[in-house]
Each structure stands twice: as C-alpha cells, then as structure tokens.
Structure 1
Amino acid sequence: MRRILIVDDELEICRSLSELLQESGFQAFFTTEAQEALALMQKSQPDLLLLDVRMPELGGIDLLKIIKEQQHDIPVIMITGFPSFQTAVTAMRYGAINIFPKPVRFQELLREISTLLDRREARSRQNSLHPQTMPESRSQEMKKINETLTRVARTDAPVIITGESGTGKELVAQMLHRQSRRRKEAFVKVNCAAIPDTLLETELFGCEAGAYTDAKSSRAGKFEIAHQGTLFFDEIGDMDIRLQAKILRVLQEQEFERVGGHRTFTTNTRIVAATNQDIVQLIKKGAFREDLYYRLSVVEIHLPPLRERKEDIDILSHYFLETFNKLYGKKIVSMSPHVRSLLLHHDWPGNIRELRNTIERAVIFCDGREIKECDLPEQYRNLSSGSEAQNYEAAIEELDRERILEALRLSDGIKSHAAELLKIHRKTLYNKMKRLGLE
C-alpha cells in the first residue's frame, strides 16, 4: 500500500487529510512537529510527502531542503494557507513538485498524488536518472566557463564555485572530477547547510569509539573516504567559523585527527567548494575566514543565473523534455508556442533546478504529444502579458539567428555542413537565413 506522510502544525488538517487519503486506498500517517518528520521518514519510508509551508520552529521550506538533501527522489507536495507566487516558486526551487492552497481541493490533490506515484513506480523499474552532462550552451559566458573547467580539471588546484541556488554548482563540481586524473576515485559530497554544526565535524573527520555517547564504534569521515579523490563542500558559506580553522589546517598540512582520537591521518584530497552567498560580505561580517577563502579560491568560477542566459532556456527545456520522455516512457515531441513563451519570459529565480522540476512535472501530466499550459504547475500559467506574447516570435527568431550563426561558425561558413549540425535540410536553412536577413 502506498504510504503518505502529512506534516502540518494544524492537527485537524492532518486528521482530515489522513482520513480522506485512507478512504482512497492510501496508508496515511501524520505529525504536527516538523522535527519529528525526519525521524518518521527514516522509520516509515513514505512514498510521498505532504508538507505545510508555515510551521513553528522549523519552516516547511527549510524542512524541504533537508529532506531533498537526504532523499532526492521522494515527491513532495507543499500546502499553504498563505499562497503567493513567490512561495510557490521558492518551493519548486528547492524540489517540490507542486503547491496547493488551503483549503485543499482534495480531488485535484488526489489526482496529483496518484499520477505522481504511478510515474514514480514506473521510474523505479528503470535505472535512476541523474544527468551528468548538459547540452552545449549558447551563452558566450558559459562557453568561457566550460573552457576554464577543461583547463582547471587537469590540475589539483582548489576551486570555489559561486552562484545562486539551482545554477548547477554541484554539476560543475562533478564535471571537474570526471575530467580530472582522480576520476577513478571517489567523489564525496558534504552539504554544510544540511548538517548541524555539532555533527559536521564528525561527518568530516570521523570519530573514535567512545568519543561521545552514541559513538559505539570508530568510523571514517569524509576526508578519509575521499582520499585520492575529490571532496565537494556544498554551501560552504554556512560552515561554522570554528570548524573553518580545522579545514584550513587540513588544506595546509594535509593531515587531521578523528574526533576523540589522537592518531594523525594524512589525506590527499582535492577540494572543491560551492556557495550561493557573497563570501566577501561574509568575511567583512566575520562569518568566514579570509585565509580559508584565499586557500579555496585558487580558481573561482561564477555561474550566471538563468535569467542572464535566456538564450539557453529553449535548449535546456528541450533537453529536459527528452530526458523525462525517456524516463517516463512518454513520446512528447514539442511544447506549445504559449508554453515556450511562458518559459522564455519567466525570471527563473530557482534557475536550472526550477526549470528541470517544471519540465518534469509537465511531462508527467501531459497526455498528448505536446506540452500545453494546463500541464504546467498552476503558478506558471498566465504569466505572460499581452506584450510578452507579442514578443514571442521575436524571441524565437533571435534564438534561431544565434543557432544559425553558431552553426555557420563551427562549419567555417559552409551552409550544407551547418544544416547537418542543425539537423535540418539545407533548403530549410537557406529559407531561415533569408527570412532572418543572414544571406
């Protein structure tokens, strides 16, 4: 029986949703305490989570971030009594599939849950999908970044990757590792924002038996596990400043001790760090060590937000469409002009992650061969103004122009070769060039 965990600080909502779900054939259980939800998830392994946005102590968005760090694939639907577009986008940004306002329209929620779980079960019968590469960017800035990555990957230089949440910092770190001489060794990730400060030291350095009450046996930390490989510090800006001093020592001396131990371990680990915060401002506030920053930032790579590389929205959308077509066994061939317009004109505060989540949900709920506005999460519908809709054709033409110019550059101006790169007939290319004034 499919299991659903409800997390809401209002007991009556928990009870009513639980009863309705059980009447519909689900096994439902709930908690009004956000902190208890993590323990329940470990114990009961739910198939889907219904999560309230506003809760005391630990908010729903913060809990969502922790859950997604621990269990990437579990579908999460948010519910809120204070709906807003910004709340919806923030939830999608951190991995929620959708958000429902209170009072919840149960039949719509039930349809969403059933569809998501049907697709998840189909997905579990296939190999897990974790894209390791992305399509080639049309953005000149991203092309320069890719050139930098190729150069830096061959070295052991520490790298710090900056950029907003969802811009692909972890993917860049993985690319650095895969292109390095350490690629056959471990790539180990630690999220400094998801692990409490009191546990992060043990997570990094390991501990000896008896180091603290629950330490019944010795265990290795991330530095030992990543020996000869790459250790990726995600959200390093959230690391406690006292722990930063110990990280600096490891970088300088390549040695450390486990918590509660005296034996010195050596480590040969490449360090890659990432943050969505302004490190310079953190240094000024005394929240980040300047010497650690300079040690980490031998090479600094800044990833631009998606709103500053809108020429990539169309190509990324179709890449994710093909990706989720394969994953869910769909045969969707396109997106409607209005959907493409919505995607092009949205600001994407959640960046590539938000776009990926949006396309995944659209693929799941699309029953035809073209994604339409009704397949998008509700908060994305009717976003474009009349003037934006009128500018849609101009935006598409500009994308076509850039693609053609790039293909001509790569093919040294030979149109037949450019047509092959674009996977279109050469006559089609000639017609497009004539229409766009590129002859």
Structure 2
Amino acid sequence: MACRAAYRLRRQDRGRPRPCIPLCLGDRSVVADPSDIQRILIVEDDPFNGPYAQQLLQAAGYKTDLVVSAEDAWRFLETESQEPPDTIVLDVNLPGMDGMTFAEKVKAHPDFQYIPIIIFTVHDSLEHKIQGLNKGGDDYLTKPYEPDELIARVNAMLRIRRLYLSLRHERQVNQKLALTLDRSERIGDLLGRSPAMRRISELILDISATDSHVLIQGESGTGKEVIARVIHQESKRSKGPFVVVNCAAYAETLLQSELFGHEKGAFTGAIRRKPGRFEQAAGGTIFLDEIGEVSLPTQVVLLRVIQDRKFERVGGEQTLTTDARIIAATNRDLADAMARGAFREDLYWRLNVIPIRVPPLRERKEDIPQLVNNFVERFNKQLGKNIQGFTKEAMDMLFTHHWPGNVRELENAVERAVVLAKGTYIRPEDLPELLQVNVLKLREPGAPKSLQSLERDHVLAVLTKCNGNKFKAAKMMGISRSTLYSKIKKHGLTSAYK
C-alpha cells in the first residue's frame, strides 16, 4: 500500500522540525525509464516539501536539482544551458519572483520554452489552475499528493519532452540534409549534372570538412580551376584567400620566387622583400595549376613544404611555416611523367590524397545545356543583352561538335554567339564557323569518322583559317599553345605547321 504524503503546507508551520517520512512508493509506483536518466529541476522554498519531493524523484531513478527561489532557478537555467532540465516542478508561492511569473519568463525564452513545467501548489481552485496553465504551466499538481502521482505526472511531462527533442533532432537532420541538397544543387548548377560531375560534386561535399590535399587531372579547358574554387568555397577555409599560381607561366628560378617569396637583393631586380604565394595563402587555399610543368629541383622544395610545412624565401635564411591547403591540377599524364623520371613519385603521392579526374566535355555532353545557360546568364549581364536561349538547331550543333577545347571552347563559342545574336535566341549562324563546318561534314554520306579523325580535322581547319598562326588558333579553340602543339604533333601536322 502506498504511503501518502500526508501533510498540508501551512505557512505558520514552516521552520518547525518534522519527522522523516519513509519513501514507500508502493506496488503501484512508477519509476524512471532506465534507458535515459532525465534531469528534474525542483523549485520549492519549503524546507520540508522540497527535499521530500527530491528524495521521491531520486528514489524513482531521476537526477534532480533543488533550488529555493525563482531567481536561483533562472540562474541555474542560464548556467546549465548546455544541459538544461527536462522538466521543472515549480512551486507558486516563492520569495521574490513568484512561480507564475517565472513560468511566464521560461516560456518566453527561445531556449527554455519547451521545458515542461508542473505547477506545484496547495491552491486547488479551478480558477487558480486555469491561471497557472495560461501562464506557462503544462500540468498541475495539488498538495498533498500521492508519491505515485508526482512520478506519473513527471513521466508524462518527460514523454512530451522526449517528443520535442526527437522532433528537434529530426528538424536539425532535415535542415542539414536540405543544406547539403542546396549545396549539391548549387555545385551541380555550376559544374554540370552528368553522372561523372555528380560524383565530383558529392566528393567535394565529402571533403569539405577536411584539409586534405587534392590533385585534379583532366584535359586543358575542362574546368579544373573552377572545381578547385568550389572545393575552397565549400570548405572551412572559405573565408580565407584562394591563391592561384600557374606553374607553367614561370621559369624555374622565377617560380620559386613566386611560390616562396624572396629577400631584397636575392637576385638582380629584387629591390625589396616580396612575400610568396604560400605566405599569401595563409588560412586559405593555394591552387598550383599545371603542376606537371614544375622542374625537378622545384619539386624537391615543394615536397618539403608539403611534408614539413616549412620553407625559406629565395635568398633568405629564416624558416617560415605555412598552413595553406594545397590543390594541384595538371593536364599531363603524371603516371607517364613518373615513368620517364620527369615527375617525382613521392611528390605525386603527397599531392594525390584526394584524386579527381575531370572528364572532357565530349564524354559528358549532357552537361552542355546547363553550362550554356550559365554562360548566357553571365554574358547577358556583362554585355547588357537579353538572350533567352538557343534554337533547337543551334543546340544540336553544340551537341554535334567534338569540343577539343572542352568547356573553355564552349564558353568562347557562347560569348561570340551572345555578342552577334540579333534576336533573343541564338541561331546556328551566330555560332563559330567551325561548328557549322563540322556539322556539314557529319552530314556528308559515308561512314562516320572516329573521334581522333574529327579532332584532327578540327585542328587542321582552325590552323588553316588562322593562316598557321598558332597563337590565334589556340585562342579560337580555347586551349593553351602548349596543348595545341601537342595536338599538332599527335595528328602528324608538324611538317605542315612548324
């Protein structure tokens, strides 16, 4: 049989010594769920009732905290904000701020408003109960009470609390998923939505919380720098600098000065100290484009920077450190370069922590519409145009073309078309002549040509149109001169265009 908490809270009896009441919960008693011990805050100033309720709840398996005023309770909530109570058992008649005011204050606070409150008082009138519930109470317990009733009501409030915490967790998970989807959609809009580019987008999100080095490989013009920028923007270093170094643009001695800086007087023309790109990239990302063009001596210095994070300026003795994340890119076959001894194997494995291979545009033509839309939108803003899109015939020409210059060549073609378009839609005649010539060739009778043959014809046509001027030809194709020279050699056009 349950022992009744047989007492009345009489203000005149406060301060008198009271006998210890045994904590007999009886056969009907309800205990805490052992799977998770919840925390209960008791706000009660009576020297007997507060400790008694605390002992009851502790015996039922709850973690309890007892304070004697609303002010103490508020300080407790602010101090324990990282681990707030799961339920508050609140007396109404408190010194200073009363329980009703405290309940109202709790429910107005964004962090505490979903903590259930049990109003704990001797007042049992309907009017008083309604007032307590309207002020922020979630339940009402009248003194005296059965111990089982207190615990049952606490359990009911804890079920509400668990439901809220579960919903909050699901909401946070959903918000995280929505944020991830938004980021994935944003990256997809920028890079493309083909299966290959979706895998790259997912990989970028997967590595966003890390500082691991990345090696991006792909043909010239495939968008390696764009991918490097997206990696930086999606990383925890996004607020830091993104520093680009084109390693193929500098001679060996100048490249070391560019990367690591130099001291005054280090060489002819070094009239002042200059910080290098690694120093400039502190807290951010350094993008080493065309890493395959770096000479072996400079590769040794780069290896040390990657391994030890240390370097010296050219002509200097002070050892500096760097925390920049390294993203490298190349259009060369580094495996072949290692086999020939032109690229250090140890440097390759240091850089190739996260490898990304960017497929050429001809292997992912389903990305063309998205890329075209991006370019049209940008050039509309830059040129003050209002191009709405491409006609079907013009879009078919884009899909027919081989795109040896990849995304860069597509970008150049779209820019030309936006400039020349007379209406709101780009027509076939607005596109470069080479695209039109290739379409006519494909329509000629006979067996379809191989991709190699199409590329050779395209390179030959461009060179012919530019009267053998390789600078103009490379610019028209959207590729570098070194890439053009490689294609000339590849297709046996060297004798005709030395």
In the other structure, the counterpart of 1:291 is 346
Q: Choose between structure 1 and 2 for higher RCO, CA contacts under 8 A separated by at least 6 residues.
A: 1
Residue 341 (structure 1) shift: 1.3
1:348 to 2:403 alignment: yes
Residue 385 (structure 1) shift: 4.2
Give CA deviations for 1:158-201 in whole Å, capped at 9, x if unaligned: 00000011111001111111111111111111001111222001
- SS, match of residue 211 in structure 1: coil
Counterpart residue type for residue 247 of structure 2: C
Larger of the two Rg values belongs to structure = 2
1:240 to 2:284 alignment: no
Residue 256 (structure 1) shift: 0.7
Residue 388 (structure 1) shift: 5.9
Contact 1:229 1:270 (8 Å CA) reproduced: yes
1:307 to 2:362 alignment: yes
Q: Which of 356, 360, 369 lines up with 2:415 in the alignment?
A: 360
When the two structures are superposed, what TM-score results if normalisation uses the length of structure 2?
0.50
Counterpart residue type for residue 373 of structure 1: P
In the other structure, the counterpart of 1:280 is 335
Residue 372 (structure 1) shift: 1.6
Q: Which of 359, 379, 393 lines up with 2:434 in the alignment?
A: 379
Counterpart residue type for residue 311 of structure 1: E
In the other structure, the counterpart of 1:95 is none
- Aligned equivalents of 2:303 and 2:200: distance in 1? 27
Counterpart residue type for residue 176 of structure 1: I
- SS, match of residue 193 in structure 1: helix
Q: Which of 176, 199, 204 lines up with 2:259 in the alignment?
A: 204
1:154 to 2:209 alignment: yes
- Aligned equivalents of 2:377 and 2:261: distance in 1? 42
User: Which sections of structure 2, spanning at least 5 residues, go unmatched?
Assistant: 1-185, 446-498
In the other structure, the counterpart of 1:325 is 380
Contact 2:222 2:406 (8 Å CA) reproduced: yes
- Aligned equivalents of 2:309 and 2:371: distance in 1? 40
Pair 1:340–1:208, CA change in 2 (3 A): same
Give CA deviations for 1:10-61 in whole Å, capped at 9, x if unaligned: xxxxxxxxxxxxxxxxxxxxxxxxxxxxxxxxxxxxxxxxxxxxxxxxxxxx
**Relative to structure 2, which stretch is displaced further, 286-295 or 208-217?**
208-217
- SS, match of residue 315 in structure 2: coil
- Aligned equivalents of 2:340 and 2:214: distance in 1? 23
In the other structure, the counterpart of 1:102 is none
Counterpart residue type for residue 418 of structure 2: V
In the other structure, the counterpart of 2:98 is none
- Aligned equivalents of 2:188 and 2:327: distance in 1? 18
Residue 136 (structure 1) shift: 6.2
In the other structure, the counterpart of 2:192 is 137
Give CA deviations for 1:232-274 in whole Å, capped at 9, x if unaligned: 1000000011100000001111111111110111111100000
- Aligned equivalents of 2:425 and 2:299: distance in 1? 50
Pair 1:309–1:207, CA change in 2 (3 A): same
- SS, match of residue 275 in structure 2: coil
Pair 1:214–1:133, CA change in 2 (3 A): farther
Pair 1:388–1:306, CA change in 2 (3 A): farther
Counterpart residue type for residue 324 of structure 1: F
- Aligned equivalents of 2:395 and 2:410: distance in 1? 12
Pair 1:155–1:368, CA change in 2 (3 A): same
In the other structure, the counterpart of 1:173 is 228
In the other structure, the counterpart of 2:242 is 187
In the other structure, the counterpart of 1:108 is none
- Aligned equivalents of 1:219 and 1:387: distance in 2? 55
Contact 1:341 1:389 (8 Å CA) reproduced: no
Pair 1:248–1:386, CA change in 2 (3 A): closer
Residue 214 (structure 1) shift: 0.8
Pair 1:386–1:235, CA change in 2 (3 A): closer
Give CA deviations for 1:58-97 in whole Å, capped at 9, x if unaligned: xxxxxxxxxxxxxxxxxxxxxxxxxxxxxxxxxxxxxxxx
- Aligned equivalents of 1:354 and 1:139: distance in 2? 19
Alignment of 1:11-90 (within 5 A): none
Contact 1:189 1:234 (8 Å CA) reproduced: yes
Counterpart residue type for residue 239 of structure 1: V
Contact 2:191 2:371 (8 Å CA) reproduced: no
Residue 336 (structure 1) shift: 2.3
Pair 1:268–1:334, CA change in 2 (3 A): closer
1:226 to 2:293 alignment: no
Contact 1:341 1:384 (8 Å CA) reproduced: no
Runs of 4 or more above 3 Å deviation: 131-136, 385-390
- SS, match of residue 248 in structure 2: coil
In the other structure, the counterpart of 1:252 is 307
Residue 153 (structure 1) shift: 2.1
Contact 1:149 1:176 (8 Å CA) reproduced: yes
Residue 133 (structure 1) shift: 8.0
- SS, match of residue 355 in structure 2: strand
- Aligned equivalents of 2:412 and 2:354: distance in 1? 30
Contact 1:132 1:171 (8 Å CA) reproduced: no
Contact 1:192 1:239 (8 Å CA) reproduced: yes
- Aligned equivalents of 1:133 and 1:234: distance in 2? 23
Residue 338 (structure 1) shift: 2.0
Contact 2:390 2:425 (8 Å CA) reproduced: yes
- Aligned equivalents of 2:192 and 2:269: distance in 1? 49
Contact 2:218 2:358 (8 Å CA) reproduced: yes
User: Which sections of structure 1, spanning at least 5 residues, go unmatched?
Assistant: 1-130, 391-439
Pair 1:293–1:192, CA change in 2 (3 A): same
Contact 1:202 1:259 (8 Å CA) reproduced: yes
Counterpart residue type for residue 195 of structure 1: Y
- Aligned equivalents of 2:297 and 2:189: distance in 1? 37
Alignment of 1:381-420 (within 5 A): 381-385=436-440
- Aligned equivalents of 2:364 and 2:217: distance in 1? 16
